[in-house]
Structure 1
Amino acid sequence: MTIQNDHPLGAVPKTERKGFWSIASVLAGFTFFTSTMWAGGSLGVAFSFSELLLIIFIGNLLLGAYASGLAYVAYQTGLNTVLLGRYSFGSQGSKLSDFILGFTQIGWYAWGTATIAIILTKLLNLPDAWQIPLMIVFGFGFCISAAIGYKAIALLSKISVPLMLIFIAISFIKGFADVGGLSELASIAPVESMTFAVAITTVFGTFVSGGTQATNWSRFSNSGKTAVIATLAAFFIGNGLMVFVGAFGALVYQQADIVDILVAQGFILIAVLMLFTNIWTTQDNTIYNFAAAGCNLLNTDKRKLITVVGAAIGTLLAIFGMYNMLIPFLVLLGTFIPPIGAIIMTDFWFRFRADADLLASTEPVKFNYAGLAAYVVGSACAYYSPWVAPIVGIVVSSAVYCALVVVLGMSDKDSKTA
């Protein structure tokens, strides 16, 4: 398969745009991820079944709306998040968001690499000494489809997503039978505690970094409708399903991961297939996102090289223990990532009046101080807020950015001097 460059430093041309099923399959494969189930497991033991459903609904609706808003901007401009960041943070100032987004994606890649190695050794009863060699094999193996580009990732997702849905359906049917039906499931009492705000932040944080960078795929959309609906389906329905699977497994089997659940149900072969399809379809998206951020940070179009370098860094992090840091990592993501996407959307709608042609003809300034200041204020408010951190970060950063653009007298004309 021919390696595609996928326009790491420019807009996707109209001639290379894709339809709904292509975009939806890639994004669904991205959101079908083990770590989301683990987060769901932490919720499943802390809330009643009815409370759990409400948290999953609200958290994923917020996440889906956020990601869909960015998806529409990406479709209109043909640009991904890191390239849009040049306008909202400046050509040099955007390197801050590049670093933050790149770091979060490499953290996910490390977690996924460690996860498959650790689970596989347990499933096959291999010595623990096999874990590091397997991390190296999978760390570099999973980046192959990402290095090839969109076509390889789309092909993998079109095969893997239907298979995963079938595997999950089999597990649900067996699980409901084992627990004794919906009434028995609803009667299970929580054994741990978690605040509503932390729960929503955890759900939002499960894929807010991915949602912020899902523009790498939504910018390939052939219409605004395709971009918005495909993204909403992946992040509201797809991510919500993963959270529910984890919570369901924790309630019924005291296991959050679908692979462990399938093993407990006696489906060993399906568990192994689920492990590979689940991890790989997210890992290639994740390292692709890292490469996109890295290309903008270093101002290079050598996407394949950046992909391999990112895989090496992620593999090292996996070896040094990223596996044990999931929940704190999710809370940090839910706090510090949403203001980036919020400012990018606000910049497009407020400063450029949703005019993609105007944005394309505008040369970014080196430092957009309004965007940088709004990010600092929004992130600080989210971090110290006792309420739902992602919502606080989004609302505050957007409001501060609008105010600063007016106060500083910034307009599209002012942006034309680099």
Structure 2
Amino acid sequence: MNNKAEIETLDSVDHILGEEYEHQPVPTAARRSTFSVTTVWIGFPMIITGAMTGSILVLGMGFTSALWAMVIGNLIMFAYVGALGLLGTNRGMNFALLASIVFGRKGYVFASGLLSTLLLGWYAVQTGITGALISSAYDLNYVAMTIVAGLLYIGITFVGVHGLHLIGLVSVPLFVILGGWVVFDTASATSWQAILAYPGNNGAATMSMGVGLTVVIALFIDAGTVSADFNRWAKDSRSSLIATFSAFPFANLIAMLVGGIMTAALAVPNANPFGADNMFGHMNGKQMAFLSALAFVFLYLNLGSVCAHCLYNAATGWSRIFGTRMRVMAVILGAIGIAVAAGNVWAFFIQWLSLLGILVPPIGAIILVDQYLARRNAEIDRDWRPSAFIAWIIGSAVAVIVEFYLPHFSTAISAALAGGIAYAALALRPSPERVTA
């Protein structure tokens, strides 16, 4: 197929499924309803992985302290993601376009490329988790189940933002119903007083509040930073904030509470939330054919939501870098993710992805300072903006110091604050070049 035929085919696909506006702002006429953007966001964090994270927090901190970490962390995420999302709404731009203003028309590649690669990595990890849980629970072939999952998730992403809307419509009600059942089923074996008083794994809390906040924030800091990819579709600021609130704190907090309450209620010594000690394992543990079949469908659809969102973000970012279409990159990157997941090497990526995640908070903080304080309504006016990179290095350096030498503090918060303050000092310094620094 020649280039002209390929372009015509892609144009036809965009005409049928809708333009994704990879390289330009979303026009007002193409914006989506508040309900549509909300279903896109709410379906992202209301997932079983969030419940597993809630379990880890409760095991490490005890229920009450973990609850505080969940609430505070999610409120911080609402402020951070909401502010970045508003930039996308007001200007109609995706993250890569916003990053081009702040880091430069060439410099943005480093910020957008990093985040897009991290999100592709998480797509592979979540796809691998899908295959692993299905394989162990139903004694099915791991590679086959992983490939089926990956292809399903590529299909959802290929549809575009409307596909994210549709998967949210299905996955969210399923999670609310099944998560609610798990909570009340496990809580019925004990008392709410005992759940609130749960002290942590084997009666000892080992996780500090700073680490707990980092766990909450780090779960979606990558996707939260590229929130403009979703919020650019909102019609106005009100719709943008409603959609963000549906995710943080609402959906993310509910997901974490489902896992946290279940863990505190069952009080299993040395519980393994990423093994059988999660809501999926609890449903299968009842040994009821109908519930097990429902759990099978639920897992694919629920993790399909987060995987499709991650792949959409990754494909949007890399399509801008390579000058191609989101749907083309979704297929290419999705295939790479499936290969990583099916090769059963995804577990080795988790620590690496988490470590790279410490580089992310300064990026969002720098964009916020630049667009709200230093250079409102600025345009893409140069190839490189050194001040943004200097602040990014400072923020990441602080993150590394906190991560390895001050483990009781929050790495994510420290990194964002350091990066934002450093950029403010550089961009707002009294000088004739302040506006174009």
Query: What is the TM-score normalised by the length of structure 2?
Result: 0.87
Within the alignment, does 1:366 sit opposite 2:387 as a pair? no
Within the alignment, does 1:291 sit opposite 2:319 as a pair? no
Q: Please give the residue correspondences for 1:34-73 in structure 2 after superposition, counting only pairs within 5 Å.
A: 34-73=48-87
* Helix, strand or coil at the partner of 1:146: helix
Which residue of 2 is the match for residue 389 of structure 1?
411
Residue of 234, 244, 248 corresponding to 1:231: 244
Which residue of 2 is the match for residue 95 of structure 1?
109
Higher alpha-carbon deviation: 240-249 or 206-215: 240-249
| Residue 327 to residue 200, structure 1, CA distance change in 2 (3 Å) | farther
**Quick one: distance in 1 between partners of 2:348 and 2:180?**
29
Residue of 195, 205, 212 corresponding to 2:218: 205
Which residue of 2 is the match for residue 403 of structure 1?
425
**Quick one: distance in 2 between partners of 1:171 and 1:312?**
34
Is contact 1:206–1:330 with CA below 8 Å preserved after alignment? no
Is contact 2:88–2:227 with CA below 8 Å preserved after alignment? no
Work out the number of aligned pairs and report it: 402
Deviations 1:269-300 (A, max 9, x none): 332232022111111111110011101222x1
Unpaired runs of 5+ residues, structure 1, are: none
Residue of 370, 375, 389 corresponding to 1:347: 370
**Quick one: distance in 1 between partners of 2:425 and 2:102?**
14
Deviations 1:285-322 (A, max 9, x none): 11110011101222x13221111111122122222422
**Quick one: distance in 2 between partners of 1:183 and 1:24?**
34
Which residue of 1 is the match for residue 9 of structure 2?
none
Which residue of 2 is the match for residue 182 of structure 1?
192
Q: Which AA in structure 1 matches 2:98? A: L
Q: Which AA in structure 1 matches 2:258? A: V
Residue of 259, 270, 275 corresponding to 2:299: 275
* Helix, strand or coil at the partner of 2:61: coil
**Quick one: distance in 2 between partners of 1:134 and 1:264?**
20
Which residue of 1 is the match for residue 283 of structure 2?
262
Q: Which AA in structure 1 matches 2:419? A: S
**Quick one: distance in 2 between partners of 1:327 and 1:63?**
22
Which residue of 1 is the match for residue 155 of structure 2?
144
How far has the Cα of 1:373 moved from its partner? 0.8
How far has the Cα of 1:250 moved from its partner? 2.8
Which residue of 2 is the match for residue 316 of structure 1?
339
Which residue of 1 is the match for residue 234 of structure 2?
221
Which residue of 1 is the match for residue 146 of structure 2?
135
How far has the Cα of 1:111 moved from its partner? 1.0
Q: Which AA in structure 2 matches 1:340? A: I
How far has the Cα of 1:328 moved from its partner? 6.4
Q: Which AA in structure 1 matches 2:210? A: A
Within the alignment, does 1:158 sit opposite 2:169 as a pair? yes
How far has the Cα of 1:403 moved from its partner? 1.6
Which residue of 2 is the match for residue 170 of structure 1?
181
| Residue 169 to residue 324, structure 1, CA distance change in 2 (3 Å) | farther
How far has the Cα of 1:32 moved from its partner? 2.0
Is contact 1:9–1:296 with CA below 8 Å preserved after alignment? yes
Which residue of 2 is the match for residue 244 of structure 1?
257
How far has the Cα of 1:341 moved from its partner? 1.1
Higher alpha-carbon deviation: 187-196 or 112-121: 187-196
Higher alpha-carbon deviation: 1-10 or 101-110: 1-10
**Quick one: distance in 1 between partners of 2:41 and 2:432?**
38
**Quick one: distance in 1 between partners of 2:265 and 2:382?**
55
Which residue of 2 is the match for residue 380 of structure 1?
397
How far has the Cα of 1:30 moved from its partner? 1.1
**Quick one: distance in 2 between partners of 1:15 and 1:352?**
27
Q: Which AA in structure 1 matches 2:149? A: F
Is contact 1:249–1:261 with CA below 8 Å preserved after alignment? no
* Helix, strand or coil at the partner of 2:17: coil
Higher alpha-carbon deviation: 192-201 or 244-253: 244-253
**Quick one: distance in 1 between partners of 2:393 and 2:245?**
28
Higher alpha-carbon deviation: 244-253 or 310-319: 244-253
In percent, how many aligned pairs have the same letter?
A: 22
| Residue 52 to residue 276, structure 1, CA distance change in 2 (3 Å) | same
Is contact 1:56–1:240 with CA below 8 Å preserved after alignment? yes
**Quick one: distance in 1 between partners of 2:148 and 2:294?**
22
Q: Which AA in structure 2 matches 1:388? A: S
**Quick one: distance in 1 between partners of 2:49 and 2:356?**
15
* Helix, strand or coil at the partner of 1:45: helix
Which residue of 2 is the match for residue 8 of structure 1?
22
Deviations 1:49-97 (A, max 9, x none): 2111111111111112111111111111101222100011111111111
Coordinate RMSD, CA, aligned: 2.0
**Quick one: distance in 1 between partners of 2:400 and 2:18?**
39
**Quick one: distance in 1 between partners of 2:388 and 2:350?**
29
